[in-house]
Structure 1
Amino acid sequence: MRCVGIDLSWTGRRPSGFAAIEPGGRVVTWTAVGGPEDAAAWLASLEPPVVAGVDAPLSAEPGRTAEAELARRLGPQGVMAYQVGSDFLERKGFTAGPALGALLRAAGWELTPAPGRPAGPRVAFETFPRALTVTLMGAARPPAYKRGTLAARQAALAEYAGLLRSALGRRGLELDVEAPEVTAGSCATGRALKELEDRLDAAACALAAWVAAFEGLEPDDLFGSAAGGLIAVPGAAATSARGRTSP
């Protein structure tokens, strides 16, 4: 089983992050500029069976409820997402995700995972790294690595990398990238931090694919619907159960 992750540029004009879990358990990450056609071609080049986690909306049909459901369940822990719809994506020019979804459907990929372990030869699903920091990595709230000063983002990315490395390590997997050391008076450039963010998010998506493939998905790990668009967040069911039993 090949497990991979993509942090897809929603416009296709900026770098996307890619991650592939090698047979020995090393998670190899990189970034590349390219549109949905390039991402689809890379996925097509992989020998099946393949499970891919993708950080981008692969479907944005009318009546999509995935983001609202995610906010209701994990919002108290700081997990929120843009409400995605076709009008919003087209207005913003964020059409790479649905375009990739259409290409994968045409190539026979299964994009609506069911509870349990994926059974098809080629399965891809939308996932959400910020939610995964809570459900799979044990964060109380997602590290704030998206916004803020460079120093604050660097510190948050270092925290994120540590959480991700630990979550991978518990499954015998090893991350190939190190976060820059946080020291007083020293900070990485914005470009370097964005590349690190893309690689970490791709690795988180690959982790989601690995958990789905080898540990399986619970019904409450799935948000939305097959008709409107699904977001799969492995570990969400267990996280919600812990929240309901907390004093």
Structure 2
Amino acid sequence: MPRTWRASSFRYEITSHVATASTSAPTTIHPSRRLVGRAADPSFSLLTGVLPRSRCSPACSLVSSGPGGPRRACLCSRSGSRGEVPTAGRAVEAGGWSGRSTGASGADPPHDWRVRRGSAARTAPNAPLASASSCDARPVRDTESGARYLGLDLAWSARNASGIAVVDATGRLIDSATVISDDDVAAWLSPHLADLAVVAVDAPLVVPNATGSRPVERELTRAYRSADAGTYPSNRTNPLFDPPRGETLATRFGWRIGTARPSLDTSAAVVPAACIEVYPHPAMVGLFGLDRVIPYKPRSTRTIEDRRVSLGVLMAHLEALEPLALAGHPRWRAHRATLATASRPVDLKRLEDELDGIFCAHLAWLWGTGSTALRVWGDDVDGFIVAPDRADTPDRS
């Protein structure tokens, strides 16, 4: 079983353990213990935050705070944190750190500890420390509100508007907005970034193919073509996908693109957040039980009134998703007012983007909380999309 220790507002989950030379048993780290640095300044406390490093995974980097200001240390030996934390003796050996643990009340007897390559072990003075095979420390952020789930209806170009929304651990909408540039995304995300568990992006994330379409796009289109919910092709010949904007953002924020589901513990957000590609049209068909996709997107044959009616249908379906709790939300009331008064296509476009962002946030929540309503189409190598199954509704084209 993974062990945890608590320090300030962060909990570090150790997924493998280093034992001392005298025992092979995993070390038990009491959750109430904190590590106090064996430093020149005894009040220097470690493990109060996380910072990314240029050559080290964010999951391995720790920020320490003390009278001398913030300092950074790395739990693994890849980037060499020697000298960055003021310690004595062999404490910085191979990028590790050693210190003493004390109980929250000071009543627990102190123990010598050494942290190295993402693992922790209690050591006697001068006892050798076994090495770990990889850096596997996994920081977990604790907050009063629990994990958060982000939906991003991402425009392929940073010159166009994107819809963005975040829901809490219960699936309730916290906020939504329309953003344009990557910096806009970062600014809006700032209050939520540390608490994200899953990010669902309506845009390509993994695009290895030079031309044509990805296998997942062909597979999903075959399944959902009869519902008019097919996908668009993406490839590296298109400069918008070389690299995809979603990949760029995931790298910027340290999100982990992949099909593996995160922990089902909704009281804390895993760092880094899981990042998945979604596509609202087939997801709406599957989750809302539709025969065909709701025609709310702009088309040459659709008038503003046609789209207003369709957006009203979409909003009714979203309101029926109880976890979102949309009806009383101030932002949702503003969306209802926009729908009632919009007279220009641009007004409906902003509303459409934001509704897609809210729905993507709901998909992120479903994925992060273990819902069986969604599955992976495709794979991590050639590209994937998370969407409902369509096995019971064969392609009728």
Using the size of structure 2 for normalisation, the TM-score is 0.52
Secondary structure in 1 matching 2:256: coil
Match of 2:356 in 1: 201
Contact 1:138 1:163 survives alignment (8 Å): no
Q: Matches of residues 117-136 of structure 1 in structure 2 within 5 Å?
A: 117-119=261-263, 120-121=270-271, 122-136=273-287
Amino acid across the alignment from 2:276: F
Contact 1:133 1:160 survives alignment (8 Å): no
Residue segments in structure 2 that go unaligned for 5+ positions in a row: 1-146, 264-269
Q: Structure 2 residue aligned with 1:71, among 217, 221, 227?
A: 221
When the two chains are superposed, the root-mean-square deviation of aligned CA atoms in Å is 2.8
Q: Matches of residues 195-234 of structure 1 in structure 2 within 5 Å?
A: 195-216=350-371, 221-233=375-387
* Deviation for aligned residue 1:242: 3.9
Secondary structure in 2 matching 1:125: strand
Task: Provide, for residues 160-197 of structure 1, a one-character-per-residue CA deviation record: whole Å limited to 9, x for no partner.
Answer: 1111221x21x3632642445988xx863211100110
* Deviation for aligned residue 1:104: 1.8
Residue segments in structure 1 that go unaligned for 5+ positions in a row: none
Match of 1:26 in 2: 173
Secondary structure in 1 matching 2:150: strand
Contact 2:163 2:354 survives alignment (8 Å): yes
* Gap change, CA 1:21 and 1:172, over 3 Å in 2: closer
Q: Structure 2 residue aligned with 1:16, among 136, 150, 162?
A: 162
Task: Provide, for residues 113-168 of structure 1, a one-character-per-residue CA deviation record: whole Å limited to 9, x for no partner.
Answer: 23xx42353111110111121122222211111122111111111111111221x2
Secondary structure in 2 matching 1:87: coil
- Residue correspondences, number: 228
Contact 1:65 1:225 survives alignment (8 Å): no
Q: Which has the higher contact order (CA 8 A, sep 6+)?
A: 1
Q: Structure 2 residue aligned with 1:104, among 242, 247, 250?
A: 250
* Deviation for aligned residue 1:11: 0.9
Contact 1:19 1:202 survives alignment (8 Å): yes
* Gap change, CA 1:139 and 1:129, over 3 Å in 2: same
* More displaced 10-residue stretch of structure 1: 70-79 or 18-27: 18-27
Amino acid across the alignment from 2:200: G
Provide the C-alpha distance between the structure 2 equivalents of 1:188 and 1:127, rounded to a whole number of angstroms.
30
Secondary structure in 2 matching 1:51: strand
Match of 2:99 in 1: none
* Gap change, CA 1:241 and 1:15, over 3 Å in 2: same
Match of 1:6 in 2: 152
Q: Aligned residues: percent identity? A: 28
Contact 1:154 1:180 survives alignment (8 Å): no
Provide the C-alpha distance between the structure 1 equivalents of 2:316 and 2:203, rounded to a whole number of angstroms.
24
Amino acid across the alignment from 1:139: L
More helix by share: 1
Provide the C-alpha distance between the structure 2 equivalents of 1:172 and 1:29, rounded to a whole number of angstroms.
12
* Deviation for aligned residue 1:40: 5.3
Task: Provide, for residues 75-97 of structure 1, a one-character-per-residue CA deviation record: whole Å limited to 9, x for no partner.
Answer: 22221111111113x1xxx3497
* Gap change, CA 1:99 and 1:77, over 3 Å in 2: closer
More strand by share: 2
Match of 1:57 in 2: 204
Match of 2:236 in 1: 86
Task: Provide, for residues 29-63 of structure 1, a one-character-per-residue CA deviation record: whole Å limited to 9, x for no partner.
Answer: 2102213x543565575123421111111121117
* Gap change, CA 1:39 and 1:113, over 3 Å in 2: farther
Contact 1:39 1:100 survives alignment (8 Å): no
Provide the C-alpha distance between the structure 2 equivalents of 1:84 and 1:95, rounded to a whole number of angstroms.
7
Contact 2:153 2:162 survives alignment (8 Å): yes
